[in-house]
Amino acid sequence: MAVRPLVTFPDPRLRTIAATVEQFDDALATLAQDLLDTMRAAPGVGITALHIGVAQRLVVLELSPEEGPRIYVNPQILEASEETMRHVEGSVSMPGVTEEIERPARIRLRYQDLTGQFHEEDAAGFAAVCHQHEIDQLDGIFWLQRLSRLKRERLIKRYEKLRG
């Protein structure tokens, strides 16, 4: 449909808490398709509506070409393992920089599809990391907030140099 402009760091909209989606209509389906197109153009493996300035709880993930894109409306984490893992993360809203973050290794989440139907899903490893990263974003937590102050400051300086 359309590649939309990305909201980029340090835009305060990246710390917005997204509103619950209540209308399951053509506009939501169009927004989901625009998110997929924008994510692929970025490129990235996950994106939220907040990344394009729309404060709704909508996530698109495409973790592998074989699996294809998945759409999650109003996702929430129901359970998280005590076991953790470290994985390198970044953001389509802060291209060119990444850092390792520790998160639960497994989660169970609940979400709705584009018709409003509820689903539950288990995720482990990379998929669990991606879900947590995007749900954090919906909750107004930009991924940098998961870093120590020192790592965060270094990463921001690196990002500012990249932007020129």
Write down the catalytic residue from 66, 67, 134, 153. 134
Quick check: 99 and 145 in contact, CB under 8 A? Answer: no
Quick check: 68 and 45 in contact, CB under 8 A? Answer: no
Q: Give the whole-angstrom CA distance, residue 75 versus residue 50.
A: 14
SS3 content of the chain, % helix, strand, coil (to 5): 35, 30, 40
Q: Give the whole-angstrom CA distance, residue 152 versus residue 145.
A: 8
Q: How far is residue 68 from each of residues 37, 92, 135, 164, measured CA to CA in Å? A: 13, 19, 20, 35
Q: Give the whole-angstrom CA distance, residue 148 versus residue 120.
A: 32
Is 67 a catalytic site residue? no
Catalytic positions, written as ranges: 134
